[in-house]
Amino acid sequence: MIRTTLAAAAILAAAPAFADPVPYALDASHSQIIFSYDHLGYSTTYGMFSGFEGTINFDEDDPANSSVSVSMPITMMFTGWEKRDEHFLSADFFNASSDAAADEARNTVSFESTSIEVTGEDTALITGDLTMNGVTQSVVLDTTLNQQGTHPQQGKPWLGFDATTTILRSDFGVGAFAPFVSDEVEIVISIEAGTDAA
């Protein structure tokens, strides 16, 4: 019995210690979400979101144990034409308010991961809840880890990811003028995040 206990203790002592996921704060200055959609078959219109807040809890030993939480104000959407931006914020689409405190749920776009399926050395499918216009739908982000290392200027651990997905805007209650203006919206995401560690 004593030998068995000692052997078990030796095995546990020799086993590698697994650390908890490390929190990385999003670098809003180097993170973008670009969306595009077909306009009446004549052109492709592009827009962008900025003003991110969020955290990536990254588990290097077990990436599937990682998680992502991101949010941004809908009023930070930019398409390059002021009247179109105003239209998107009107009652035809998001019915957003310039006063973010007026209706935080409606004025905020957020994503909370629910599971991660590792598909390759640097790739994964991240499933999560996307909330937009007060509606929550499950989406899957096809994700690539671009780089993990020490940021040459910040001197801190740093991550960089790209991801893509396609959504139906009508699923989120912003389906005006579909299908003439495409219901499908393609989304391209590129983000950086760093730790507080020096």
- pLDDT, tens digit, 9 for 90 and up, residues 74-86: 999 999 999 999 9
Strand blocks (E) in 53-107: 53-58, 67-73
pTM of the model: 0.87
In tens, the pLDDT along 163-183 reads 999 999 999 999 999 999 999
Residue 55 is predicted with a pLDDT of 98
Residue 19 is predicted with a pLDDT of 73
Distances (CA, A) of 108 to 71, 132, 133: 7, 7, 7
Residue 17 is predicted with a pLDDT of 52
Q: Specify whether the CB–CB gap between 128 and 114 falls below 8 A.
A: yes
Consecutive H or E run containing 24: strand 22-26
Q: Specify whether the CB–CB gap between 100 and 39 falls below 8 A.
A: no
Write out residues in the chain with pLDDT < 70, as ranges: 1-18, 97-102, 198
> CA–CA separation, 138 vs 79, rounded Å?
25
